[in-house]
Amino acid sequence: MSVQPRRRADLSVFLLAMSIRVEQIDLYHIRMSLVSPFETSFGVTTERESIIVRVLAEGLAGWGECVADAAPGYSYETVTTAWHILRDYLAPALLRAPLDDPRDAPAHFRFVRGHNMAKATLEAPLWDIAAQQAGQSLARYIGGVRDRVLVGVSIGIQSSPDKLAEVARGYCEAGYRRIKIKIKPGRDLADVRAVRRAIGDTPLMVDANSAYTLDDASLFQQMDEFGLLMIEQPLGYDDIYQHHKLQRQLNTPLCLDESIHSADDARFALEIGACRIINIKQGRVGGMTNAIAVHDVCRQAGAPVWCGGMLETGIGRAFNLALATLPNFTLPGDLSASSRYYRLDLIDPPFELNSDSTLSVPTMPGLGVNVLQDRLDAVTLRHDVLRP
Ligand code: SMG
Ligand code: MG
């Protein structure tokens, strides 16, 4: 007799935990100054614009951050397009119908083609809420296997190779044990040589952000002598095929970033040998669900992955950290300490670098970081509140 009521109670807890009825969505368009300008092959970023989203559901608050930039340099998506897609399409769809699970978000948002960064922004708070409902950290909730994540630093193009070498040495002294440098035509081999000389055998890699063509194959062959960890996205942002032609001429592994938008892209790229490593950014692939799918495809193919960064505040960084606890994230991510990006982060405490070049993964339920509402308000340019 005592079994039945208990079973009924267990079931209701189960049902509660599996449904997310959204009551309110807050969109914040923010702008924050970087501690130093970040130059890539497609431009210089001095201020980061972004969208922070807060979802209220089931008595809980979940947070997310959009990785689109103000300008369409890295991706066609911008803060303005993401705001439009979020406010006019994705948020209304979410306010209309409850989701059982954040893993259903990609299907729920499929009526919008593309706009992965906007979709990821609104999927994120659902993961935060679902993990809180389960009473687990997001890392544990998605099946993460580590409590610290190996990280490196991504350094923008500097005024000269010597200056770059000095900056890279500074980051090594600060404890980063993997250096990534940005390259562009005219600022490549001499930069790599100078940094290699300055940092000894510290793992080093380059990221071209699609600034080259196959005609530059001999340049990349010359990079083989520097023992780089990988060369990231040398060719077209929308190309996979030509990368395989380049990869077969090199000893250094290629890594794809901009070209990979889905698990299918990852499978195709690995199958044709276009790269040996993949950089996973949840924003680029349309959210955590798809990011996990990309991870799983790469793991099955025996290709290691690492977590990319988009100069996120601590909110987006916390998502990245949780993602990077999955087993196949075996290479250091572009996830540096808060102080590498912003003087004041939006979370408390800020992320700090451990002495083993790791960041600690939050352990509190959900995303596990405290968002500082007053700091958020102070950097907000526009705030919209959406309700059913
Ligand atoms: O968040 O540490 C970070 C930045 C890492 O280099 C980084 N990101 O192509 O991988 C990349 C770039 C994209 C952002 S450029 C503004
Ligand atoms: Mg990149």
Local confidence pLDDT in tens for the 388 residues of the chain: 333 333 334 444 444 456 899 999 999 999 999 999 999 999 999 999 999 999 999 999 999 999 999 999 999 999 999 999 999 999 999 999 989 999 999 999 999 999 999 999 999 999 999 999 999 999 999 999 999 999 999 999 999 999 999 999 999 999 999 999 999 999 999 999 999 999 999 999 999 999 999 999 999 999 999 999 999 999 999 999 999 999 999 999 999 999 999 999 999 999 999 999 999 999 999 999 999 999 999 999 999 999 999 999 999 999 999 999 999 999 999 999 999 999 999 999 999 999 999 999 999 999 999 999 999 999 999 999 999 9
Catalytic residue, from 163, 182, 184, 245: name it: 182
**Closest ligand (CA of 310):** 1
Distance of CA 183 from the midpoint of ligand 1 (Å):
12
Q: What residues does each domain of the chain span? A: 18-135+373-386, 141-370
| CB-CB neighbours of 373 under 10 Å | 10
180 noted as active-site residue: no
Distance of CA 69 from the midpoint of ligand 1 (Å):
11
DSSP secondary structure string for all residues of 49-117: EEEEEEEEETTEEEEEE---BSSSSSSS-BHHHHHHHIIIIIHHHHHHS-BS-GGGHHHHTTTS-S-HH
Vertex 371: Cα angle to 316 and 74 (nearest 5): 25
Query: Among residues of the chain, what percentage have pLDDT more than 90?
Result: 95
pTM of the model: 0.95
Radius of gyration from C-alpha coordinates of the chain: 21
Nearest CA to ligand 1 atom 5: 309
Nearest CA to ligand 1 atom 6: 154
CATH superfamily of 141-370: Enolase-like C-terminal domain (3.20.20.120)
CATH class, domain 18-135+373-386, is: alpha beta
- State the average pLDDT for the chain: 95
The pLDDT value given to residue 370:
97
DSSP secondary structure string for all residues of 157-202: --SSHHHHHHHHHHHHHTT---EEEE-BTTBSHHHHHHHHHHHTTS
Vertex 221: Cα angle to 218 and 223 (nearest 5): 120
**Packing angle of the helix pair 161-173, 189-199 (nearest 10 deg):** 30
182 noted as active-site residue: yes
CB contact burial 79-95 (16+ within 10 A = b; e otherwise):
bebbbebbbebbbeebb
DSSP secondary structure string for all residues of 322-350: HHTTSTTB-S-BS---GGGT-SS-SEESP
Collapsing DSSP to helix, strand or coil, 282 comes out as: helix
Per-residue pLDDT tens for 240-255? 999 999 999 999 999 9
Q: Please indicate whether residue 45, judged by its CB atom, sits closer than 6 Å to ligand 1.
A: yes
Query: Amino acid identity of 329?
Result: F
**Which is the closest atom of ligand 1 to the Cα of 38?**
16
| CB-CB neighbours of 10 under 10 Å | 10
Per-residue pLDDT tens for 359-369? 999 999 999 99
**Closest ligand (CA of 68):** 1
Query: Among residues of the chain, what percentage have pLDDT more than 70?
Result: 95
The pLDDT value given to residue 16:
47
**Closest ligand (CA of 316):** 1
What does the alpha-carbon distance between residue 140 and residue 144 come to, in Å, rounded to a whole number?
5
Q: Please indicate whether residue 234, judged by its CB atom, sits closer than 6 Å to ligand 1.
A: no
What does the alpha-carbon distance between residue 238 and residue 263 come to, in Å, rounded to a whole number?
15
What does the alpha-carbon distance between residue 64 and residue 53 come to, in Å, rounded to a whole number?
5
Do the bridges between strand 22-40 and strand 277-280 make them parallel or antiparallel, or are there none, so unpaired?
A: unpaired
